[in-house]
Structure 1
């Protein structure tokens, strides 16, 4: 494959689970031969909530392939299909599907690249407050 472009069908990428929750992720970085960003497809089934987290030194873009929900600093936001959300490195975020309806599909893009393809950047789960 040339390093100038790559086309990947996420359905052809193996389903995995995030390290901190049961949400399905398809890691697209390696299949795309991406070196300057990290890319995942995230499938949030009804009732699922991903782990609230930050990425040290890395802002993140979320592209809603279907309508979805994202929680930012504890506030829930509805995002229409095609909507794009940018979250700064130190902002706590997580994807949610509290609708009880269909699976929400997201693309998660991180840049600048930090960490490795395996850990999608310095993934930080903040301490719970009492």
Structure 2
């Protein structure tokens, strides 16, 4: 049997900010040695949201560590702590923190692993539709 596995602690991975939005994230793909998926965290301060977007070919799964709201095709869905959301490539999606005081962290997994660790893959904003 092969011992092909990785264990990381989120606190050991540096948080960065998306240049466009300022949302904080951790890139876990490389640290975990993932080759068949991409995985990141996004931490939202109270009132913060991610930009609505879709992916060209990438299915995603979001895991709400602290609960939160996912907006899919302009419909809001409350997600409890530990809740899991699956999104097909074409669904316009974003996550938001509607609380006044608590940070919320989401784990976001995508497959296949399109793009690079730096550019977060092929995605499109709703206004980019032609």
TM-score (norm 2): 0.92
**Structure with greater helix share of residues:** 2
Aligned to 2:37: 37
Deviations 1:45-68 (A, max 9, x none): 101011101111001000011111
4+ runs deviating over 2 angstroms: none
- Aligned-pair CA distance for 1:113: 1.4
Structure 1 residue ranges without an equivalent (≥5): none
Q: How many residues align?
A: 128
Aligned to 1:51: 51
In structure 1, the residue corresponding to 2:126 is in which secondary structure?
A: coil
- Aligned-pair CA distance for 1:118: 1.3
Aligned to 1:126: 126
- Aligned-pair CA distance for 1:81: 0.7
Aligned to 2:109: 109
Q: Please give the residue correspondences for 1:13-24 in structure 2 after superposition, counting only pairs within 5 Å.
A: 13-24=13-24
Structure 2 residue ranges without an equivalent (≥5): none
| RMSD (Å) for aligned C-alpha atoms | 1.7
TM-score (norm 1): 0.92
